[in-house]
Amino acid sequence: MSDDRLERYSKSIAGDGLVPLWDRFGDLVRPRPAGQAGAHIWRYAEARESLMLAGEVISVEQAERRVLILENPALPGTSSITRSLYAGLQLLRPGEVAPAHRHTQSALRLILEGESSYSTVNGDKTAMGVGDVVVTPPWSWHDHGNDGDAAEDTVWLDALDIPTVSFYDASFLENLPAASQPSEPDGRAGLWAAGLRPTDRRPEANPLTAYPYVETLKRLEQFAAQTDPHPVRGWEAEYIDPATGGPILTTMSAFLSILPEGPSAGTYRSTDATVLVPLEGSGTTTVGGQTIGWKPRDVVVIPSWAPYSHDVDDGSAVVFSYSDRAAQTALGLWREETEADAAPRNRGA
Ligand code: GTQ
């Protein structure tokens, strides 16, 4: 067909809800991920300053949740840190309560600062200490509070699947008339935490509310002392849903890694754009020709399929990370690739 005829054809169908695939195929069905969400770092010291100012200009009653969204500059206006996931820094001041609600979006919280807050998830009241991970499965009631004689400002990272739920247009929200839900522990979370399954009921979602940091890190250190690390991801363990043995949530996966001192022994990439939060140690991550220096509580996002490597300063580093690997795996999409250096360095060298 002549270009003329083709152009006239395209114009003739425009506006009818019909679009020629041949104009778009290359954008739609790519040979590899486009990596639209760029790498970026939020430095905790700077973000914290803005968050503390929010503590002075807005109350938690007014805000519902006093949160600064970590919006990826490559995804403006989307409230997303990756295409599928959300991140925010939440501040709860002494005496405050973030009121009870439930929504179809699920959440992970990583406590960054302050020891005096708690979260009540479906009646199960859990203390939140620095480094702990607290889970809010879909449609579970949750409120957060900060009380006691030693109450101090508390900051945590909220990781939610908000963009995923928006994509499916499946958002529901309900508020509880009272700010706090009654604490009605049924003891099941404690059984799961002890490696036991209550035999009277099958949970609908992850039944374990909290993953305490101190115990988790101790186990990971014991593992690290006795095995070789992955060339880039170090000694790594996944937070799991004990009822399924699978990812902590159906939409999100979360990991804790110890990275050995010095440079990675290669590069790694995967289709799940990943959010890293160093908890101990410092170093740099090189991704897409950019080298990003990080310290504890900074937040680093790595795009899908971009090869990256780390270089850890003196000692080792401990890094929390989360991504949509759970969802991609369930959909049959997830891929990873490790390019180990030809001559792997000696352990500890
Ligand atoms: O704590 O329930 O950062 O509902 C965004 C939405 C936190 C929460 C966020 C939420 C919450």
Q: What's the pLDDT tens digit per position in 242-269?
A: 999 999 999 999 999 999 999 999 999 9
Asked whether 241 lines ligand 1 (CB < 6 A), one says: no
In this predicted model, what pLDDT tens digit does every residue of 5-37 receive, in sequence order?
A: 999 999 999 888 999 999 999 999 999 998 766
Q: From CA 149, how far away is CA 168, in angstroms rounded? A: 44
The pLDDT of residue 348 is 47
> Which amino acid, one-letter code, is at 77?
G
| Segments of the chain scoring below 70 in pLDDT | 1, 36-37, 343-349
Q: From CA 325, how far away is CA 106, in angstroms rounded? A: 15
Asked whether 88 lines ligand 1 (CB < 6 A), one says: yes
Structure tokens at 204: 């609908």
In this predicted model, what pLDDT tens digit does every residue of 114-154 receive, in sequence order?
A: 999 999 999 999 999 999 999 999 999 999 999 999 999 99
Asked whether 160 lines ligand 1 (CB < 6 A), one says: yes
DSSP alpha helices (H): ranges in 168-304? 188-193, 213-226
Is-contact 107 88, C-beta < 8 A?
no
| Cα-to-centroid distance, 133 and ligand 1 (Å) | 15
The pLDDT of residue 342 is 84
Q: What is the DSSP letter of 16?
A: T
Residues 6 or more apart whose CB falls under 8 angstroms from that of 57 comprise none
For the chain, how many helices (H) and strands (E)?
A: 8, 23
What domains appear along the chain, each with residue ranges and CATH number?
Answer: 40-193 (2.60.120.10), 212-340 (2.60.120.10)
| Cα-to-centroid distance, 250 and ligand 1 (Å) | 18
| Cα-to-centroid distance, 210 and ligand 1 (Å) | 17
Asked whether 65 lines ligand 1 (CB < 6 A), one says: yes
Atom 1 (ligand 1) nearest CA? 65
Cα atoms in the Cβ-side hemisphere of radius 13 Å centred on 72: 25
Question: Ligand 1 pocket: which of 60, 64, 65 to mutate (most atoms <8 Å of CB)?
Answer: 65
Q: Which residue has the tokens 């804790």?
A: 256
The pLDDT of residue 37 is 64
Residues 6 or more apart whose CB falls under 8 angstroms from that of 25 comprise none
The pLDDT of residue 132 is 98
